[in-house]
Amino acid sequence: MTTPTRIARRHPDELIIGLVSISDRASAGAYQDQGLPALREWLGGALASPWQAVDRLIPDEPARISDTLIELVDTCGCDLVLTTGGTGPARRDVTPEATLAVGTKEMPGFGEQMRQISLRFVPTAILSRQVAVIRERPSHAALIVNLPGQPKAIRETLEGLKADDGSTLVPGIFAAIPYCIDLIGGPYAETRPEVIAAFRPKSARRPQPAPGDAAV
């Protein structure tokens, strides 16, 4: 097993993302993991600024989950960690507890919004226990967010719900993530508005180059 090392940022605005799929069966090879490919595909379509990701596929074990989150933030230097799986009420669903154990600030709005989105489709969304936290270290901080386990639900919670004309019915949680990362000292991430429009107050937005300005 190789020792994890800090991931080199190739651009000042590059977002370093940890992706963690939590499943006993997928980590044992009993079936193909779907969470990590779904996350990579969505991020590839949504992010306009540079990013790179590091993947982890692990079983539903509290200590293993917490250790992985600590490694991704403290050692690898991730700005954002997205987990998928293990957030239901079953006895082996322990992702929220393992996430809360490593956080220094709880961010309850993310879980609340995810449940609001999912309740549009299934009443059992109230059984979901996703949480989000900030993990702060002396020289670094990261946002950690639990997501659902199914690719369709991952996309819906990140992207939100749109009307037939493309207007937003229910905002997805990723709309708030770039500004949250700004506030904890991370890079300035930009999204493709046709997928998800990142929201920032006017005072926090970078000036856009005027049309016709030539790159130097």
The dihedrals phi and psi of 142, each to the nearest 5 degrees, come to -145, 150
Kindly tell me if the per-residue pLDDT of 23 is higher than 60.
yes
> Measuring CA to CA, which residue among 172, 181, 171 is closest to residue 49?
181
DSSP conformational letter for 74:
I
Kindly tell me if the per-residue pLDDT of 124 is higher than 80.
yes
Sign of the alpha-carbon torsion through 53, 58, 136, 170: positive
Kindly tell me if the per-residue pLDDT of 37 is higher than 90.
yes
Alpha carbon distance 15, 10 (integer Å)? 10
Chain position carrying tokens 């009443």:
123
pLDDT digits over 127-173, tens only?
999 999 999 999 999 999 999 999 999 999 999 998 888 788 889 99
Over residues 38-43, mean pLDDT: 98
Q: What's the 3-state SS for 144-206?
A: EEEECCCHHHHHHHHHEEECCCCCEEEECHHHHHHHHHHHCCCCCCCECCCCCCCCCCHHHCC
Architecture of the domain defined by 15-200: 3-Layer(aba) Sandwich (3.40)
Give the pLDDT band of residue 191 (cuts 50, 70, 90).
very high
The dihedrals phi and psi of 161, each to the nearest 5 degrees, come to -115, 135
Average pLDDT in the chain: 93
Give the DSSP letter string of 61-73.
-HHHHHHHHHIII
pLDDT digits over 52-77, tens only?
999 999 999 999 999 999 999 999 99
Give the pLDDT band of residue 216 (cuts 50, 70, 90).
very low
Kindly tell me if the per-residue pLDDT of 14 is higher than 90.
yes
